[in-house]
Amino acid sequence: ANVADKSEQKRLMKQAEDEITNQYTEELKNLTISQGLILVRLIDRETGNTSYKVVQELRGKVRAFFYQGFARLWGYNLKTEYDPHNNPEDDEIETIMVLLERGAI
């Protein structure tokens, strides 16, 4: 965001993406479907945006559309919003996260 040159921004984004890919690919490949669903919800909880919006902002609308289609094949919805007040599953996740943040578990 602090770089005015578009080509430099693109290079830095690609470098960051490569680092993240190298660091987390193996762990993400081994997630169960349930763990993946929780991850999608936690991304929304931590960023305030759905996974779809995050991908859309970072990678563009076409890539976000492609990822959403692929996610739907595996039972995910990247547009799912985190709502611990109206969704019992999100409420459980919130309870666990609060306990983790407090160091209780």
pLDDT digits (tens, 9 = 90+) for 55-72: 998 889 999 999 999 999
Question: Do residues 51 and 78 lie in contact, with contact meaning Cβ atoms separated by under 8 Å?
Answer: yes
Q: What is the pLDDT of residues 68-98, one digit of tens each?
A: 999 999 888 999 999 999 999 999 999 999 9
Question: Do residues 78 and 68 lie in contact, with contact meaning Cβ atoms separated by under 8 Å?
Answer: yes
CB atoms closer than 10 angstroms to residue 29: 7
Question: Do residues 57 and 49 lie in contact, with contact meaning Cβ atoms separated by under 8 Å?
Answer: yes
